[in-house]
Amino acid sequence: MKKAVKIILFVILTLGIAYLTYGVLSWKDTSGEYYSSVKMLDNTPGNTVDVAFVGTSHVYNGLYPGYLWEQYGIPAFDMSISGMDKYSTLYYVKEFCKKQSPKVVCVDAYAFLYERNAVQGNVYRNMLSMHLGVNNVNMIRDYVGKEDMWDYVLRWPIIHTRYKELKQDDFFFGGVNKYLRGERMLFDREGLDEIADYHASDILEPISDKNREIVDALIDVSLQEDFKLLFMVVPYGASAEDTAKLRGIEKYLGERGYLLYNGIAAKDEMNIVPMDDYCDFAHLNYYGALKFTEWISKYVVECAEFEDHRGDARYSLWDLDLAYYQESRVRTAICSFLNKGDFENVLNMAKADPGLSLVVVLDGEAPKSVDYNKLLEGLPVSEQASKTEGIWNLCGPVVSLVSKTNTDKPVYFDLDRYNVVKIEKTEDGSSVYVGSNEYGKIHNGLYIMLWSNTDREVVNYWIYE
């Protein structure tokens, strides 16, 4: 008996440790940088989401649930994953409906334009993010095929190699995944040259058998789960081949009594400006996403009866999401002011936002172009700063190291539990590090770094010499 107990205890202990190890190694993002719409959904109370947007990176970049919450009090969610294929679309909709009872589900038709994902990482994101279950196994079998499916189903054969790429978030996973609603906000303006006129040609590629099958299956699910199904296309620089396929899909949807809400065709209606509204060749940035979200929301709100849930404690995650949405806007505005050297506005905005910190370093003399005294005006001294060499100042939620770095030793400051700023004076200036990464070097000038407490990363840094 004693031996049997030992064996059982050993098995339990081994499985426990294997489980913890799996937790560290498991696949953790759906859209890069440890953002996981699946984890965000896990953290969402059941039966709270009224509108789901399902699709690829076009969706999580191009649609902000925060807009629907802010404008209408409608709790929406981006159930989207980078490179979501047609099989994943169907099974993620089914999986979504296990815990939620959406009134409207908008599906991104871009997922129907390709058979296989060109990027292996996206295959992992789609196949490995869903919780193991019937939907997951079926999805893997349909996409990967029977021969390789068990490597995906078992996870270990794929994820065990992640020991080479582990980061802090693999051990302390959480952060924005606790409250975001699936979106990613990017403010870059890389731009597109143009988006071709959708109506310039009427060449149509008939819908493929597989696409037809998946569309029919989605319609069946919508009838079964009693939600309104919308098909949409987030505007992007579609090729002639893509638009031909989209016309084919649109035609079939029409035969089945469904519309395709085509952002490419409606780009002028939305006033999409390719040079301003895109962060790369395919994805809307913040500015473009607002336009598209506003446009599609008009159709979404007409589809069903929605209750305004603002003020309801059950929907507090949407309030937090909105706060992050607003913090991102503040962050962009601060960057803009810092680009212009408008420190008064920078400090005013940063003081009001606990999600952001400023790190300020002076090397030598402040440049004449900067009103340094105005910058320092009214900043009290922090307790930590007062224990360290140099001159330190703290301003509310804005942490600022203001140090005339005339010391031979490096100066350290904790941004949070794991991230430390180091400022090291050398003959040719002061180098600023966060951890082991260098973020700029100044020689006789002023340095400002914008740090996001939410994302635990450097947003940007500026040097005024």
Partner 1 sequence: MVFNSVSFLIFFPIVVGLYFVLPKKARTAWLLVTSYYFYMSWNALYAILILFSTFITYLAGILLGKSKSEKGKKWVVAGSLIINLGILFFFKYFDFALDNLNAVLNLINVKIISNPFDILLPVGISFYTFQALGYTIDVYRGEVPAEKNFIRYALFVSFFPQLVAGPIERSKNLLSQVERLNKERLFSYEKVVSGFSMMCWGMFLKMVLADNIAIFVDSVWDNLQMAGSTATIFAAVAFSLQIYCDFGGYSTIAIGAARVMGFDLMENFNTPYFATSIADFWRRWHISLSSWFRDYVYIPLGGNRCSKVRHYINIMITFLVSGLWHGADWTYVIWGGIHGAYQVIGKLLMPVREKLTKLFKVNIRTTSYHLGQIVVTFALTTFAWIFFRADSLSEAKLFIKHLLTKPDPWNLFNGSLYGFGVDTTDFHVIVVAIFALVLADIIRYRRKCDIGAFLYGQNLWFRWLVLIVLIVACLVYGAYGIHFDSAQFIYFQF
Binding site for partner 1 (CB under 8 A): 3, 6, 10, 13-14, 17-18, 21, 25, 148, 150-152, 154, 156-158, 160-161, 163-164
Is residue 256 within 8 Å of residue 219, measured between CB atoms?
yes
**Cα dihedral 101, 106, 111, 112 sign:** positive
Q: Closest CB to partner 1 among 70 and 151? A: 151
Q: Closest CB to partner 1 among 32 and 157? A: 157
Minimum distance of partner 1 from residue 163's CB (angstroms):
5
Minimum distance of partner 1 from residue 133's CB (angstroms):
19
Minimum distance of partner 1 from residue 120's CB (angstroms):
9
Q: Closest CB to partner 1 among 144 and 219? A: 144
**Number of Cα atoms under 13 Å in the Cβ half of residue 374:** 12
CA atoms of 250 and 260, how far apart (whole Å): 6
Minimum distance of partner 1 from residue 161's CB (angstroms):
7
Q: Closest CB to partner 1 among 1 and 200? A: 1
Which phi and psi angles does 126 have, rounded to 5°? -75, -45
Minimum distance of partner 1 from residue 10's CB (angstroms):
6
Q: Closest CB to partner 1 among 161 and 373? A: 161
Q: Closest CB to partner 1 among 18 and 352? A: 18
CA atoms of 135 and 133, how far apart (whole Å): 6
Side chain identity at 55, as an amino acid letter?
G
Cβ neighbourhood burial of 269 (10 Å; 0-12, 13-18, 19+):
exposed
Minimum distance of partner 1 from residue 135's CB (angstroms):
21
CA atoms of 222 and 219, how far apart (whole Å): 5
Minimum distance of partner 1 from residue 8's CB (angstroms):
13
CA angle, residues 141, 166, 44, in degrees to nearest 5: 60
Strand ranges in 66-174 using DSSP code E only, listed in sequence order? 76-80, 104-108
Neighbours of 115 (CB within 10 A): 12
Alpha carbon 309 to chain centroid, angstroms: 24
CA atoms of 418 and 430, how far apart (whole Å): 22
**DSSP letter at 284?**
B
Minimum distance of partner 1 from residue 159's CB (angstroms):
9
Is residue 347 within 8 Å of residue 395, measured between CB atoms?
yes
What distances in angstroms separate CA 138 from CA 202, 259, 454, one per listed residue? 36, 28, 36
Is residue 447 within 8 Å of residue 440, measured between CB atoms?
yes
Minimum distance of partner 1 from residue 32's CB (angstroms):
20
Is residue 415 within 8 Å of residue 421, measured between CB atoms?
yes
Cβ neighbourhood burial of 96 (10 Å; 0-12, 13-18, 19+):
buried
Which phi and psi angles does 441 have, rounded to 5°? -140, 135
Q: Closest CB to partner 1 among 10 and 418? A: 10
Minimum distance of partner 1 from residue 141's CB (angstroms):
15
Q: Closest CB to partner 1 among 21 and 336? A: 21
Minimum distance of partner 1 from residue 129's CB (angstroms):
17
Q: Closest CB to partner 1 among 18 and 134? A: 18
What distances in angstroms separate CA 101 from CA 90, 257, 370, 460, one per listed residue? 16, 23, 55, 40
Both tokens assigned to 458: 């450097």
CA angle, residues 238, 243, 244, in degrees to nearest 5: 150
Q: Closest CB to partner 1 among 150 and 172? A: 150
Neighbours of 218 (CB within 10 A): 21
Minimum distance of partner 1 from residue 14's CB (angstroms):
5
Q: Closest CB to partner 1 among 22 and 281? A: 22
Helix (H, G, I), strand (E, B) or coil at 77: strand
Q: Closest CB to partner 1 among 21 and 316? A: 21
**Could you tell me where the DSSP H helices lie in 26-55?**
37-42
